[in-house]
Amino acid sequence: MLLAKTSISILFMISASVACAKSIPGLPVERAHLFATCAGRFEALVDHYTSTRHPDLSETEDVHRQFADLTEAMLPDLAPSGVSTVEVAEWQQTGQQEIAALILQIRLGVTIEKASTANADFAEKLQFCADLVLPPNGE
């Protein structure tokens, strides 16, 4: 129960600071989709950082956990819309696959241009999510 209260508190803080972050959708299904997708994206990054022993692993795990908690906190609001936990898991898996594919393109890019494009997409997708839960730089 403490986890749910903490997640709801985080959700409230995020909703209250929309001016400092990207716009968070108003409908529960849209919010859950966004949070699940971001959880999947950061899960892929955690997997990559674990395999490469990246120094930012711990911070990345924390961000992943925040999105996983936000997604879980949204589950009770999805029942009236008929959205199942299977569908939520699929959203998360899609986010995970997006980032895993981009990591592969970056590492094995056939051309510098393709690797550069993948790197830009990778950074944009993760930054979009990070802006939802992390304070802007300098605060």
- Counting Cα atoms < 13 Å in the Cβ hemisphere of 113 gives 0
Question: Would you say 121 and 103 are in contact if contact means Cβ atoms under 8 Å apart?
Answer: no
Q: What is the pLDDT of residue 26?
A: 84
Task: Say which residue the tokens 């994206």 belong to.
Answer: 41
Query: Residues 70-76: what's their mean pLDDT?
Result: 95
Report the distance separating Cα 61 and Cα 57, nearest Å.
6
Total-model pTM: 0.80
If you average pLDDT over every residue of the chain, what do you get? Answer: 84
Tell me the pLDDT band of 25, cut-offs 50, 70 and 90: confident
C-alpha 42, offset from chain centre: 5
Amino acid identity, residue 24? I
The better pLDDT of the pair 1, 62 is held by: 62
